[in-house]
């Protein structure tokens, strides 16, 4: 009988050679192979090995403390290729300080690249990333000066009279995955994971290049006792299995919960137990943002205000079953967790794999996406990826916004230090933020306004005090909050002058009172 190769964390580390490309699978701390990641870090700090690795990951994989933060040591990793580091302060510092070569590619493109590599292809074609910092005619996804002169991982290619980006294959030497259990053959399940992710394509891509797959599991089952339909990775593709001896700390379902069956679809909790959020400026932005919904919309939520607020507001307004909320991780419905637990949700209706979700977002395009923003300029360009030296990266932002039928950017009008009061049916600015977000030219193009206007994409920017719309002529101011002075609190805090709508109106006064505000869907215009 075939037998799995059960190994210690130290033996797993010995399978990694100096200079290897190591692919890690996970999102936030979900499915992080924490035992193995810690062992790699410990080995490097004590022995200097392994070293000069290339770290490849599609999603951000940390909770500001663990995950691939264990790799953030100069010399351990020479090159990082990923999508998002917003929850990885050590990696943002490493990138900013030129202590590693750093490439930022769209999250969905990396997840789908695994499948292309698994099929023996040299890479994949996509329009995702054209006109953004990923485009080699702008920055080529190179996130610091150390990387600027290095080779491009993306090329612009013509095909059938149109431009595409070609994302080149990245050969994988070692792939680190995690499962709930495996049997004595190594057949691996992910029943208790809060996401399906892109585990199998990454494994297949690794095997295509003759690489090694290392799996961390919580339990071992007798061969033949696992439901074959629930096996995520057949054991023949796994070279070593590490049994986690400290699952409470190193095999958590997510950062905040060791295990909650409502996040893995094994239990539904009463919806009434989901507490509403207090009425803050973040919630105010979310309330105004959902006024852009039409009944039956399929919705995507990005990180920050969208994911932290909008699902909760929809539940509070009683419209959760009239739309379908999705997240890039592959979840459908339910109420989403936020912050360091981004990408998971309670009471889901469906869960598909990460790369399949990106197929949908890249192809048909979601009806409405809600995304955060850092800067907006007069051309309608948005920067959500790099603010000065702070390099958060794109995550799924580019994949989703370039193809969504409607994009609603959500954020405060200014950043850093703002204080607000919602009272008497209006908004009062107690203290203005220290950083302007409405700039003459964005520091990095994460969303290309010219391309959006060319495609006649519906684009809105919702803040606590003003609402803008992207039109062919530029950025149009359409609404202001009650209690806000147009000249002093909007126009004089912008580095460009927006087009002011002749029908400029006040935001819905009901938004500024305690919930619910009585959400009414937009009427579809045929």
**pLDDT tens per residue, range 165-196:** 999 999 999 999 999 999 999 999 999 999 99
Domain boundary among 247, 262, 292: 247
- Report which DSSP code applies to 229: G
pLDDT at 526: 42
* 215 and 82 in a common domain: yes
- Is residue 242 a part of any domain in this protein? yes
pLDDT at 271: 67
pLDDT at 291: 97
The rounded distance, in Å, linking the Cα atoms of 19 and 434 is: 43
How large a percentage of the chain has pLDDT more than 70?
99
- Is residue 41 a part of any domain in this protein? yes
* 179 and 286 in a common domain: no
Encode pLDDT of 76-132 as tens digits: 999 999 999 999 999 999 999 999 999 999 999 999 999 999 999 999 999 999 999
- Is residue 23 a part of any domain in this protein? yes
Q: Give the count of beta carbons closer than 10 Å to the beta carbon of residue 249.
A: 12
CA 508 to chain centre: 31
* 181 and 299 in a common domain: no
Q: How many distinct structural domains can be found in the chain?
A: 2
- Is residue 317 a part of any domain in this protein? no
Q: What is the 3-state secondary structure of 440-505? A: CCCCCCCECHHHHHHCCCEEEEECCCEEEEEECCEEEEEEECCCCCHHHHCHHHCCCCCEEEEEEE
What contacts 42, CB < 8 A, 6 or more positions away? none
Task: Phi first, then psi: give them for residue 462, nearest 5 degrees.
Answer: -110, 120
Given a cut of 80, is residue 441 above it in pLDDT? yes
Encode pLDDT of 345-363 as tens digits: 988 999 999 999 999 999 9
pLDDT at 270: 81
* 221 and 143 in a common domain: yes
- Is residue 88 a part of any domain in this protein? yes
Given a cut of 50, is residue 426 above it in pLDDT? yes
Known catalytic residues? Answer: 328
Given a cut of 70, is residue 525 above it in pLDDT? no
Q: Is 359 helix (H, G, I), strand (E, B) or coil?
A: helix
Q: Which of 228-232, 285-289, 314-318, 428-432 has the lowest mean pLDDT?
A: 314-318
Mean pLDDT along residues 52-70: 97
Given a cut of 70, is residue 272 above it in pLDDT? no
* 282 and 379 in a common domain: yes
Mean pLDDT along residues 481-498: 98
pLDDT at 523: 72
Q: Following DSSP, what letter does each residue of 362-381 receive, concatenated?
A: HTT--SEEEEE-SEE-TT--
Angstrom CA distances, 141 to 116, 132, 135, 374, stand at 20, 9, 7, 18
Mean pLDDT along residues 459-471: 98
Encode pLDDT of 24-54 as tens digits: 999 999 999 999 999 999 999 999 999 999 9
The rounded distance, in Å, linking the Cα atoms of 147 and 145 is: 5
- Is residue 328 a part of any domain in this protein? no
| CATH number, position 368 | 3.40.1080.10
- Is residue 165 a part of any domain in this protein? yes
- Is residue 420 a part of any domain in this protein? yes
* 300 and 178 in a common domain: no
Encode pLDDT of 136-148 as tens digits: 999 999 999 999 9
* 174 and 286 in a common domain: no
* 174 and 128 in a common domain: yes
Q: CB of 395 within 8 A of CB of 134? A: no
Given a cut of 90, is residue 388 above it in pLDDT? no
**Enclosing domain of residue 462:** 278-304+362-512
Q: Give the number of residues written for the chain.
A: 526
Given a cut of 90, is residue 336 above it in pLDDT? no
Q: CB of 178 within 8 A of CB of 215? A: yes
* 498 and 422 in a common domain: yes
Q: Give the count of beta carbons closer than 10 Å to the beta carbon of residue 126.
A: 20
**Long-range interactions of 146-152: CB distance < 8 A, separation 24+:** 146/98, 146/100, 146/101, 146/102, 147/101, 147/102, 147/103, 150/101
Mean pLDDT of the chain: 96
* 109 and 26 in a common domain: yes
Given a cut of 80, is residue 483 above it in pLDDT? yes
CA 341 to chain centre: 11
Bridge partner residues of 124 (DSSP): 167
- Report which DSSP code applies to 513: S
Encode pLDDT of 197-224 as tens digits: 999 999 999 999 999 999 999 999 999 9
Q: Give the count of beta carbons closer than 10 Å to the beta carbon of residue 23.
A: 26
CA 160 to chain centre: 31
Given a cut of 90, is residue 499 above it in pLDDT? yes
* 67 and 129 in a common domain: yes
* 296 and 227 in a common domain: no
- Which of 344, 446, 390, 427 has the alpha carbon at shortest distance from 129? 446
Q: Helix axis angle, 107-118 relative to 354-362, nearest 10°?
A: 110
């Amino acid at each position: 009988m075939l037998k799995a190769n059960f190994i210690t964390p130290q033996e797993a580390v010995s399978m990694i050679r100096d200079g290897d490309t190591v692919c890690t699978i996970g999102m936030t701390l979900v499915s992080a192979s924490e035992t193995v990641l810690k062992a790699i870090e410990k080995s490097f700090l004590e022995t200097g090995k392994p070293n000069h690795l290339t770290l490849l990951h599609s999603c951000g994989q940390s909770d500001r403390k663990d995950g691939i933060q264990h790799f953030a040591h100069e010399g351990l990793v020479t090159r990082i290729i990923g999508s998002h580091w917003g929850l990885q302060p050590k990696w943002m510092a490493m990138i900013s300080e030129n202590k590693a070569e750093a490439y930022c590619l769209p999250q969905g493109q990396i997840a789908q690249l695994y499948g292309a590599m698994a099929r023996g292809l040299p890479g994949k074609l996509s329009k995702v990333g054209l006109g953004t910092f990923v485009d080699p005619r702008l920055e080529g996804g190179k996130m610091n000066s150390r990387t600027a002169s290095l080779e491009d991982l993306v090329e612009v290619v013509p095909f059938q009279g149109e431009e595409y980006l070609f994302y080149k294959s990245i050969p994988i030497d070692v792939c680190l995955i995690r499962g709930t259990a495996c049997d004595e053959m190594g057949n691996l399940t992910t029943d208790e994971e809060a996401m399906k992710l892109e585990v199998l394509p990454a494994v297949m891509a690794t095997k295509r290049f003759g690489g090694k797959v290392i799996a961390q599991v919580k339990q071992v089952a007798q061969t033949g006792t696992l439901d074959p339909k629930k096996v995520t990775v057949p054991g023949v593709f796994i070279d070593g299995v590490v049994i986690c001896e400290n699952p409470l700390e190193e095999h958590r379902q997510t950062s905040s919960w060791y295990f909650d069956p409502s996040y893995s679809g094994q239990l539904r909790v009463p919806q009434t137990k989901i507490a509403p959020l207090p009425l803050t400026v973040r919630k105010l932005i979310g309330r105004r943002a959902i006024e852009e919904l039409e009944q039956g919309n399929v919705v995507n939520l990005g990180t920050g205000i969208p994911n932290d607020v909008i699902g909760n507001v929809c539940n509070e307004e009683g419209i959760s079953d009239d739309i379908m909320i999705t997240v890039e991780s592959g979840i459908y419905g339910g109420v989403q967790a936020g912050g360091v637990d981004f990408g998971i949700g309670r009471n889901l209706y469906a869960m598909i794999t990460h790369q399949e979700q990106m197929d949908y977002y890249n192809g048909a395009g979601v009806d409405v996406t809600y995304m955060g923003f850092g800067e907006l300029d007069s051309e309608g360009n948005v920067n959500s990826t790099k603010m000065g030296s702070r390099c958060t990266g794109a995550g799924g932002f580019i994949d989703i916004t370039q193809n969504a039928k409607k994009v609603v950017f959500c954020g405060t009008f200014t950043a850093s230090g703002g204080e607000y009061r919602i009272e008497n049916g209006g908004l009062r600015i107690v203290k203005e933020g220290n950083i302007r977000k409405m700039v003459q030219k964005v520091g990095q193009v994460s969303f290309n306004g010219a391309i959006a206007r060319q495609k006649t994409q519906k684009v809105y920017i919702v803040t606590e005090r003003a609402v803008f719309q992207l039109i062919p002529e530029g950025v149009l101011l359409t609404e202001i909050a009650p209690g806000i002075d147009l000249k002093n609190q909007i126009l004089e805090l912008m580095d460009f002058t927006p087009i002011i709508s002749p029908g400029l109106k006040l935001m819905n006064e009901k938004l500024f009172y305690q919930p619910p505000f009585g959400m009414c869907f937009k009427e579809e215009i045929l």
